[in-house]
Structure 1
Amino acid sequence: MVGFNGKSNSAKQIIHRMRRGPTLPDGGVNFECHCVSHLVASPCGYEFREAIKCQKAASEGELEEGACADELMNFMRCAIRTECFRSW
Structure 2
Amino acid sequence: MSHCRRVGPNNKDIVIFASKEDHQIPSKVKLPEPDPQPGLILPNGDINWNCPCLGGMATGPCGVEFRNAFSCFHYSEAEPKGSDCYDLFKTMQGCMQKYPTLYNKDLADDDELNNIDKATVNLKTESEGSKADGGTSNK
- Aligned AA for 2:35? I
Q: Which of structure 1's runs of 4+ aligned residues deviate more than 6 A?
A: none
Q: Does the aligned pair in 2 maintain the 1:24–1:30 contact within 8 Å?
A: yes
Shift of 1:63: 3.0
Shift of 1:27: 1.2
When normalised by structure 2's length, the TM-score is 0.46
1:47 to 47, 65, 74: 65
5+ residue gaps, structure 1, are: 1-10
**Counterpart for residue 38 of structure 2:** 20
* Partner SS, residue 29 of structure 1: coil
Q: Percent identity?
A: 25
Q: Which residue of 1 aligns with 2:50?
A: 32
Counterpart CA distance in 1 for 2:98 and 2:85 is: 20
Q: 2:96 matched to 1:79?
A: yes
Rg: which structure is higher?
A: 2
More strand, by proportion = 2
RMSD: 2.1
CA offsets 1:5-49 (integer angstroms, 9 cap, x no match): xxxxxx55x612xx1110111111100100115101211000000
The match for 2:79 is 61
Show structure 2 runs of 5+ residues with no match: 1-31, 106-139
Letter of the structure 2 residue corresponding to residue 71 of structure 1: L
Could you tell me the TM-score, scaled by structure 1's length?
0.70
**Match of 1:5?**
none
State the alpha-carbon separation in 1 of the partners of residues 73 and 93 from structure 2.
15
